[in-house]
Structure 1
């Protein structure tokens, strides 16, 4: 739930040799007075005279902590109780501290910090404990609790650095304690407000609480020197897609699948990008932003920005984590898009007016209706269209992708020969052979008679006509060798050219036969990678007789591209293939290759509504 992401309160607890003390908390809710008011309200209620008090369960003692939270604020805990709980022993410092009381979960990272003036003195071993605690809903997920612990840890390290540099923490805690002593007779809310006016650390904690509840993005300056940047992904990504609960583990899975052929799509203006990076990393970010283009890949951006691909990966991952950008495939005419199933396209959607303001005279419903079925950008453009019209269409597609109204579909391939078809083909072949054998059996006597007559005819010499050779009459029934020699002698005018052509044709036939034998042997070797059933299915495809086509098929099969895990764009990039070449191969072997379109699971998992 969205409400489980927001903190209930932020608490600052301090402990040194003088004892523990809760110096500051926000919001300014008087926890003890709230408890007393609730007790008085319960007592003032009219009691039912017929009610029976249940005193059997002695272990279930009544407690006032049942309503520990109310309207998103922490209630029911006195400052003295919280101070005693969070002033932990040194053995529990510098590690995660988590405590659950009723329906509230407290998360922090207690930090031991040496005093600046005592770091080199004889009392250098004396340290002060600072514990910045976040009160959360008990139902908060593990990822949210982990993020708040990380924030508490970063705050502790930042304060430790500033204390060692300028004694900032000692000064701030002394000012807070002095204000508490001065305002003992005043209401606690007034004391906390005065602390926020006097102490910059209290102002920073108040700003952090508001940022976590509104955007989930914070960039806070401590002591006007150190900038602390932090992102709560579960909250930040809801700014672009309401209701989406994106945890860091999901983002990590998406970023681990990042490839050079992917592209980047910014979700905010350029001016908002600097909020998510410290000043030291701004230069490299601007190098990437200067060459940013949703039409090119990350590898092209890396070359244009003169950055290594590893640096580009880190910058893009940082922007994606901070909900400043998302991962796409570079925009091109072959990209297939369809309306996202959870797109907010109701008539009251604020995106309708926002789209009309961005593209004057255009209707969001009219434009997005073209993507009711999976459609490529190329199908929506014609060669007769003006380039300006095509550019506007690309800008509208980018706008709809930024607002998660469209999702891209990729084509995946699965090697799946159909056993039923093979069985039917085999049975048809068996029936055909049985039918032929039956016909031969019916005509067997006629065949024997014909065979006998042929034998009888071959046993008697046939009348041979006489031919005239050299003016003499000669029977052709003489020896075959003499006839062959006479035939050669009969044609004394045959040229050497004709003899050469006969010899050349014979040699060509021999070469063709040798090549065909080599090809056949190579085809058999290529088919060895398949099982017997798969080999039989492939052999029935005419394209399997082509060595080049079969070699490419076997290569992609061995690389594992036909297991529905790699889309066409990934195959094209890693195997250096053209789209037309890959589509022709899929068409030739369509009897054993099944293709289907779906979204990239690594990217789509980021914005699945939970």
Structure 2
């Protein structure tokens, strides 16, 4: 209730004095209520303490049935007709349980020939005193926009002067009738003002729109279009009981990335109400290419719009509760039932779902997401494309009604710190040495390439490069040479001796290249591991994949970029590092001993619906 305004009041001040021109609503208490209140208690009766406290609370309350009461028009005009020094700045006044917010605006009358003739206009909103700071700020911004709109129309055609004269004349007519006929009420003046004045009708429409939807799209004097959204009220239309503050929306929009997507929450016909005519063309271009399966970057490319303009349009739609931010729908998306989903037997969403998808039960469909489940797990290649399309539509419908939330996979670097690899790490830092076990393995094999492959596939670390065995044991070369020469002898050749010598040289050259490559790999691995601390280095070093320079280089690159701190999900890593999902998942599997993964919702998107 603290979101709704209690009243909207317009006060003027000029050379003719102060005057409350109009307020709405103005029918708060009836005469029967006032007479019954006066007859309620005998002034000579003795009051007990409870009655005294209750009477004091009633006297200090100026709110009756959600409307402003207890303030005469003369008092309000005196309070709000401020001095010129306080104009064009925030006006805020708290009286008992009511807070008044406005933006006094000073302007020069168009019909006046004197430069010193000014009009002060103040459109004030009466709010609950406990209204949050963001709500107060929103109403202040609305008051300022209304003031600027009236200044524009006054400078253009003198609209405000005409409306003021009409309202003052109406009040004077009713006042004269009241003096002659005591049965007339001052409230009839507001009835007549509302009937005659287009400005009064505009203020009435503003009040009702704020109390019902929180969205305004009005045209003042059939010329100036004013669009305004009260997000604390507008977002409750999609999810009751949740107050979405503007600061929360700003944080979400600040976190927008090109890989994000957009999901409309209303029909296309309701979108143009939230933008002025100047921005309608750009919005139409975006809507023509809209697809929840597309990213914002793809939609910007298809609509031939800069990505910054797409951000602004999407942000505007999100602020106005016309759209929400999602990750583009695809088979790998993982969804689960939202913890606060309004799922109960008599929920109106059950019937609404059956109307949208005849023959389908909401509880039956959503039960598939009781545990985190991807869309791909619910589809099979044998299913017809139409069936897969219906499933996608049902998922989108449940996302629109906030029944599902998407889970993303995050990665955290957590090496195992038990000191088990201190000896290995020390040996590695001292440099390559001869390993007798590895030397015996190489000598036992006829082919040195097989020995190298066995070492690379071993789960143990590689403290000794293969080149050390080849350089220190000439028997390996002779064994390899004899093997190669035997194969060559069996082949026909015009010069057996020259072929043998050339092949021997080629073999030696190939072995030397392998040795050099292996040395370079070991140097590269050592350089990559040096980016870690000593204990973390040991944990990474004993992982088999750390022996592959390419895998280790990619892992170190992502680690240095800060992706393994649990703050970036896989989709974000894939986009900014241009990686395929399979490539990234393989890397995480290879280094699973030091990388843990977990699934949770994207905090930037979830913040829109978790603030109560």
Q: Shared fold (TM-score greater than 0.5)? A: yes
* Structure-1 separation of matches of 2:223 and 2:173: 29
Which runs of structure 2 are paired with 1:164-563 in the superposition (5 Å)? Answer: 164-184=155-175, 185=178, 186-419=184-417, 422-423=418-419, 495-563=497-565
How far apart are 1:191 and its partner, in Å?
A: 1.3
1:426 deviates by 6.2
Task: Establish whether residue 131 from structure 1 lines up as the match of residue 129 from structure 2.
Answer: no
Gap change, CA 1:299 and 1:429, over 3 Å in 2:
closer
Stretch of structure 1 that moved more, 25-34 or 559-568: 25-34
Note closer, same or farther for the CA distance 1:191–1:365 as it changes in structure 2 (3 Å cut): same
Counterparts in 2 of 1:255 and 1:164: CA distance versus 1, 3 Å: same
d(CA) in 2 for partners of 1:362 and 1:554? Answer: 49
- Determine the C-alpha separation between the residues in 2 that align with 1:248 and 1:571: 29
2:578 to 576, 579, 598: 576
Describe the shift of the 1:34–1:160 C-alpha distance in structure 2 as closer, same or farther (beyond 3 A). farther
Which TM-score applies when normalising by structure 1? Answer: 0.84
CA distance in structure 2 between the partners assigned to 1:531 and 1:367 by the alignment: 50
Matched, 1:90 2:84: yes
Aligned equivalent of 2:472: none
Q: CA deviation at 1:505?
A: 1.8
Is residue 257–residue 602 contact of structure 1 (8 Å, CA) maintained in 2? yes
Which residue does the alignment assign to 2:471?
none
In structure 2, the CA distance between the partners of 1:164 and 1:389, relative to structure 1 (3 Å rule), is: same
CA offset at residue 244 of structure 1? 1.1
Q: What secondary structure, in the 3-state scheme, does the structure 2 residue paired with 1:116 have?
A: coil
| Runs of at least 5 residues in structure 1 that lack an aligned partner in the other structure | 431-490
Query: What's the Cα RMSD here?
Result: 2.4
Deviations 1:479-507 (A, max 9, x none): xxxxxxxxxxxx9x973323332332222
Tell me the equivalent position of 2:143.
152
Shift of residue 64 of structure 1?
Answer: 7.0
Query: In structure 2, what is the equivalent of residue 460 of structure 1?
Result: none
Cα displacement string for residues 491-537 of structure 1 (whole angstroms, at most 9, x for unaligned residues) = 9x973323332332222111111111111111111111110011111
Determine the C-alpha separation between the residues in 2 that align with 1:428 and 1:557.
23
Q: Deviations over 1:232-289 (max 9, x none)?
A: 0000000001111011111000000011111110000000001101111111111000
Deviations 1:369-421 (A, max 9, x none): 000000000000000000000000000000000000000011111111122xx
TM-score normalized with structure 2 length: 0.84
Output the CA distance in 1 between the equivalents of 2:39 and 2:533.
80
Alignment partners' CA distance in 1, 2:543 and 2:28: 81
The structure that has the greater radius of gyration is 1
2:63 to 69, 72, 76: 69
For residues 50 and 32 of structure 1, what CA distance do their matches in structure 2 show?
29
Query: Counterparts of 2:610 and 2:219 in 1: how far apart (Å)?
Result: 34
SS in 2 for 1:584: helix
Alpha-carbon separation, structure 1, partners of 2:237 and 2:70? 32
Q: Distance in 2 between matches of 1:52 and 1:271?
A: 56
2:115 matches 1:117: no
Structure 2 distance, partners of 1:602, 1:75, is: 42
Question: Are the counterparts in 2 of residues 105 and 136 from structure 1 also a CA contact under 8 Å?
Answer: yes
**Cα separation, partners in 2 of 1:83 and 1:30, compared to 1, 3 Å:** farther
User: When the two structures are aligned, how many residues end up with a matched partner?
Assistant: 537
**Contact 1:14–1:128 (CA<8 Å) still a contact in 2?**
yes
